């Protein structure tokens, strides 16, 4: 075990050797792993660059700031347009009075445009990328065809959806359990104008913590903000030490873009930070079973920026009783 020693040389019988091995194995789990080193100057620069990319993502079209509605769809037909007589009412002056119809039949969600309305069809993947990973995501709609009908549930591959656009307004279909909704965005939303940037704690290398990856086979119940609860696999927990006290957080779900997600709450939640907890990406463990928990990169879930997202919440075991004064603070609206 890393950093362990049986002590001074002495005659060790087979029984005593087995006892020493057991004690060493147990005590090794009661101390932090050897820290993963980092250059402080380069590290601070990387954190600032990460936040610059994340802020650019939020300022970009189709970001979480653009969401203006999340309309749950019944089976059958729902009209959409700027007129007040529609089932889904779009902002006045930004779309025709009557754009078309959304038809839900079982698991299928189809769109039929009204006569004379120019609706374009594209591929949406903007909200599928990890925050802070690749910066603002440009998209080119110049070659998107005008369509009179579209299958909003067409399988385009992981993280991609059919998106329909009319002027600055666009929409996609999302499914949550056995429910389906239309997620509507406005790239001229006033949220872009009132966005004040990301408020956060000062960067501190003390909150870049080396943890131990402990594999386990566990099921956890994950609730989200709309009240749905799902059971998900937890492949491991990460153990780390703060103030000499061992703590742990469960990893929930499979890797995404090669990284794992932690969702946690702490004593700042609902005070200085968002009440629904924060998210943190971690890389897979290294050869020594170590992972880095960089709380300086703890970021707000989409629900902190818009009421029209469906964010998972921290599980029962992922609520820390200490204040993690690192990463993003609650947005200022």
Could you tell me which CATH number the domain at 67-194 has? 2.60.200.20
Tens-place pLDDT, residues 95-106: 999 999 999 999
Prediction pTM value? 0.84
Q: How many CB atoms lie within 10 A of CB 34?
A: 11
Q: What is the pLDDT of residues 207-236, one digit of tens each?
A: 999 999 999 999 999 999 988 899 999 999
**Listed residue (93, 113, 304, 56) closest to 188, CA to CA:** 93
pLDDT value of residue 11: 52
CA atoms within 13 A on the CB side of 278: 30
Closest to 27 measured CA to CA, from 42, 57, 5, 49: 5
Nearest-angstrom CA–CA distance, 6 and 285: 26
pLDDT digits (tens, 9 = 90+) for 76-92: 999 999 999 999 999 99
User: Dmax of the chain from CA atoms?
Assistant: 93
Would the CA dihedral through 268, 274, 277, 278 be positive or negative? negative
Cα 282 to Cα 262: distance, rounded to the nearest angstrom: 7
- CB contact at 8 A, 34 and 292: no
The string of DSSP codes covering 24-65 is HHHHHTTSPPPPPP--HHHHHHHHHHHHHHHHHHHHSTTSGG
- 148 against 155, higher pLDDT: 148
Place of tokens 């998900």: 232
Average pLDDT over the chain reads 88
For residue 232, the cross-strand partners are: 220
E-strand ranges in the chain read 67-72, 76-81, 88-89, 100-105, 108-113, 119-124, 146-147, 149-151, 161-166, 169-176, 179-186, 208-223, 229-242, 245-251, 260-264, 278-282, 290-294
Q: Calculate mean pLDDT across residues 100-114.
A: 96
The residues, any chain, with a CB within 8 Å of residue 81's CB and separated by 6 or more, are 88, 89, 90, 95, 96, 97, 98, 99, 100, 114
pLDDT at residue 65, as a whole number: 94
Round to whole Å and give the CA distance between 220 and 218.
7
Does residue 137 surpass a pLDDT of 90?
no
212 vs 236: CA distance, rounded Å: 10
**What average pLDDT does range 124-143 have in this prediction?**
62
Q: Residue 132: which pLDDT band, with cuts at 50, 70 and 90?
A: low
Mean pLDDT of 162-167: 96
Q: Where are the domains of the chain?
A: 67-194, 199-318
pLDDT at 29: 62
pLDDT of residue 6: 38
pLDDT at site 331: 93
**What was the pLDDT predicted at 156?**
85
Q: Hey, which residues does 14 pair with through a beta bridge?
A: none
* Per-residue pLDDT band at 135 (split at 50, 70, 90): very low
Please give the pLDDT value at position 19: 53
Once rounded to an integer, what is the mean pLDDT over residues 320-327?
A: 98
pLDDT at 317 over 80: yes
Q: Phi, psi at residue 296, to the nearest 5°?
A: -65, -20
């Amino acid at each position: 075990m890393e950093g362990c020693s049986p002590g001074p040389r002495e005659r060790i019988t087979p029984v005593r050797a087995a006892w020493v091995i057991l004690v060493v194995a147990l005590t090794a789990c009661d101390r932090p792993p050897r820290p993963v080193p980092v250059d402080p100057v380069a590290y601070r620069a990387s954190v600032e660059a990460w936040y610059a990319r994340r802020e650019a993502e939020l300022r970009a079209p189709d970001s979480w700031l653009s969401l203006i509605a999340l309309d749950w769809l019944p089976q059958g037909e729902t009209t959409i347009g700027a007129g007040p007589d529609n089932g889904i009412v779009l902002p006045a002056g930004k779309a025709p009075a009557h754009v078309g119809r959304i038809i839900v039949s079982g698991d299928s969600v189809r769109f039929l445009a009204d006569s004379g309305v120019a609706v374009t069809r594209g591929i949406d993947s903007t909200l599928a990328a990890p925050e802070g990973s690749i910066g603002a995501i440009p998209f080119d709609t110049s070659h998107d065809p005008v369509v009179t009908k579209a299958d909003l549930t067409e399988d385009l591959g992981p993280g991609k959806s059919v998106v329909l656009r009319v002027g600055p307004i666009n929409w996609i279909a999302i499914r949550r359990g056995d429910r389906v909704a239309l997620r509507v965005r406005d790239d001229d939303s006033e949220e872009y104008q009132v966005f004040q940037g990301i408020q956060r704690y000062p960067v501190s290398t003390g909150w870049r913590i080396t943890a131990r990856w402990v594999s386990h086979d566990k099921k956890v119940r994950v609730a989200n903000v709309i009240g749905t609860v799902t059971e998900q696999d937890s492949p491991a927990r990460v153990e780390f030490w703060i103030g000499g006290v061992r703590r742990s957080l469960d990893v929930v779900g499979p890797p995404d873009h090669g990284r794992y997600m932690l969702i946690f709450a702490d004593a700042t939640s609902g005070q200085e930070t968002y009440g629904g907890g924060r998210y943190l990406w971690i890389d897979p463990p290294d050869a020594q079973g170590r992972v880095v928990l960089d709380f300086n990169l703890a970021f707000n879930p989409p629900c902190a920026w818009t009421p029209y997202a469906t964010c998972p919440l921290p599980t029962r075991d992922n609520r820390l009783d200490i204040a993690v004064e690192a990463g993003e603070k609650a947005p200022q609206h």
